[in-house]
Each structure stands twice: as structure tokens, then as C-alpha cells.
Chain A
């Protein structure tokens, strides 16, 4: 297809670096919005998820919340918040919506990480005289880290996808090329940007996949498959529930 080579031409044209809308700037914006939103969401969701995971209370609430959030259309949420916060403050509204969308996956990752810890391990920690605080930091947090990272990974991908849509309300980012290209029927620009967005998402995904492996504590054999806290069936349901929708 010619369009593909045109899109490649568009991507590597000199104007992509020097023009009024340079690609590096758009990538930077895209990453900045993603980073800020996921950071804020993590500050809120990780302590909450740990509290739920450690005490076992409020789990139904968290599960219900994640389920309901998945049904929430991200595009609609952005526009709703933009109209609520004010069109002039669209970036703030957009970031709030990214945070709302990122929280459920991180929350699920945090408490699922704790839940996946074998109860016998925790009983053993308690039996050798660890305080609750030590159990939290020396047992549950390290063992739960891979699932927390997996939750962060879902959140990052969700936000990258949603930032793309936020170009519609005047936010920068790579989605801008697609939204602008649609109006002008510039298909080479749209396809070039779409390939770039897909590549960005894949790179971030790979980065977090690597991180998930790195954080498995030494001594835990094959990470998640090493310890067997729950039946296979239950774990399958749990892992399915961490995956969340795309924006």
C-alpha cells in the first residue's frame, strides 16, 4: 500500500523535527502527561491497595470499583471533566480523568499482590516474631511487587491510550496529529502518528514487562508461578480482573 510508504516519509521528513509541531515535543508531552497521571494515581492507589490487601477489608469495594471503572468510557470522561472544570483549563481536566482511569488497575495490582502471598508465609513471619509493620515491608511488599508493577503497566497503557484521545479537547501529545489529520484528510500524517503511538505503547509495555521480572525477589523461584497461594482457577480469575480496558 502506498499510504504506508507515505506515512514513513511523513515520519522521517525534516519538518518533523523543525516545524511548528515537532515530533519530539509531542512525544515529550505524551510521556509527561502519562507520567504525571500515573504518579498521582499511584500515590493515591498504592497505599489504599496495600491497606485492603493487608487487612483484607474493603476488597469487595475495590473489586466493584475496578469493575465499574472498566465500563466508564474514557473519551466521555475526559469531555465530561473538561466541561465541568472549564474549557480553558482542559489540561487539568484531562489529567484528572487520566488519574481516575489509572487508579483501578494500580489498586487491583497492589491488593492482588498482597493477596497472592501465601498465608503460610505470613503466618511464618508472624511466628518468628515479626511485627505487623515488618510483615508489611519485609514480606508482603517485596512479594507483591511483581503484581503491583503489572498493575502499573496496565495503568500506563490505559493512560497512553487516553492521552491520545485527549488531543480532541486541545491537549497536545501524539494524538494531535491524528485529530488534525482527520479534519484535513491527511492520511499519511494520521498513519505516521498512529504507528508512532503504537510504537510508544509497545516500548513502554516492554519496559514494564522487564521491570516485572527484575523486581521478583531473589529466592522466589519463577515469580508468580513459584508460590501457589490459591487454586489455579481463582488465580486465573484474579489475573483476568487486573487487565482493564483500553481508552
Chain B
């Protein structure tokens, strides 16, 4: 317990550093995967290719990716940008599929209605399809965000400071409380970002289905004449 009280400053500093490292991959991942997901959704030919590549990239273990990327990109092994790019790749890998699925989940009748009302492809995408695809996209974004926050810790192995420092330092000094504090802080940061995304989703997308009992939803699903 004493360790925690003595090291509040360190914990705060590492938490802020951790958040600073987590946000760029989440934001960049989202921005990149919206057009990619659209391409995957819109063109059957690219769909298989894009989603397969995304799946394969997502398969590569993080520590291996941190080592493989620098020589390819010509950057230093120990640089922060290495972590940012690797984690952005993971976020894109998760989100491209989400965006493609989300656009696919939009009711075709609604899309046809928009077309019939004279919406061009661009306006239809931004004002009808993308907003309706929002809830499913958000579900993917939350998964990507939480896994990004947890993966940032691996960066400590190649020397990038984050809450992961509490793990390696705690092991070296055999301080259980330090490692435990690290795990708890990472989970808290993940839950905080997740909650913020969920809140933003409710604010920005009042049309999203409210969370309700899953069984009722399943029953409604099977009763629908779809």
C-alpha cells in the first residue's frame, strides 16, 4: 500500500503518457477505416481482399509487429512512432470489418428510399448510410479502443514508456502492489475511454437501438419477417 501512496506522481504521469499513446491509434484507425470499410462494402471484388489482409495483419502478435515494422518503414526500433503505427494497423484491421459490416446492416429499403428521393451517392452516404451504420461502427470502435489501451503496455518491452513500466519495474523489484496498480490503471483507462465512446454514441446517435434484454431482442429478431 505504501508503494502506491509514495508513487502517486509516477502513476499519474504514466497514466497521462498512456492515454497520450492510446489516442492517436484509435483516432487514426477510425479515420482510415471509414473509407476502407466503404470500399470493402461497396465493391465485392475488394471486399474479400481487404478483409483478408485486415484479418492477417490482426493475426500478427504485437511484439512481433513492433519488431517487423521498423526495418520496413526505416524507423528506429525504440521510437514512439513505431508503436503508434503498429497499433493503428490493429485498429484499422478491426474497424475496416466493422465499418463494412455496419454499412451492410443498413436496411436496403432505406437506401432505396434515399435514392428515390433524389439523394446522390455522396449525400446519401453521409446523411443516410453512415449515420445508420453508426451503432455497429461504434461497437467496433469500442473494441478497437479497449484493445489499443491494453496493447500500449507491450511497448515497454521495446522501451516506450507507458503504464507497462509498472509491470517490468514491479517484476524487477518484486513489488506486487506496483504490478497490480498497473493492471488496475490500464483497465480503468480502457473503461474510461470505452465509457466516453458509449456516451458520445448516445449523444450523437439518438436513433441507435437502446440496450435491452437480449432475449427479447432475439425473439423480436426471429419474429421479423425479414
Contact = CB atoms under 8 A, between A and B. Distances in A.
B179 A76 contact: yes
A244 B226 CA distance: 30
A83 interface: yes
A98 to B, nearest CB: 13
Nearest to A76: B183
A121 to B, nearest CB: 10
Interface in B147-197: 147, 149-151, 153-154, 156-158, 163-164, 166-168, 170-171, 174, 176, 179-180, 182-183, 186-187, 190-191, 194
Interface stretch (A37-45, A127-135, A195-203): A195-203
Interface residues of A, number: 66
Interface in A209-245: 228-234, 236-237, 239-241, 243-245
A10 interface: no
A4 B151 contact: no
A247 B154 contact: yes
A118 B67 contact: no
A157 B104 CA distance: 27
Contact of B147 (A70, A115, A202): A70
B221 interface: yes
Given A119-B222, A169-B171, 15 more contacts: A56-B215, A70-B143, A72-B183, A72-B186, A73-B164, A83-B179, A119-B219, A120-B222, A229-B221, A233-B136, A236-B98, A240-B98, A245-B147, A245-B150, A246-B61
A240 B63 CA distance: 23
Given A79-B179, A190-B67, A245-B151, A240 B222 contact: no
B136 A70 contact: no
B183 A232 contact: no
Contacts of B174: 83, 87
B105 A71 contact: no
Given A80-B176, A80-B179, A205-B56, A198 B186 contact: no
B63 A231 contact: no
Contacts of A247: 61-62, 151, 154
Contacts of A77: 183
Contacts of A239: 101
B150 A164 contact: no
Contacts of A84: 176
Contacts of A234: 217, 221
A71 B194 contact: yes
Contacts of A240: 94, 97-98, 101, 136, 139-140, 143
A118 B71 contact: no
Interface in A33-74: 56, 59-60, 63, 67-68, 70-74
A228 B60 contact: no
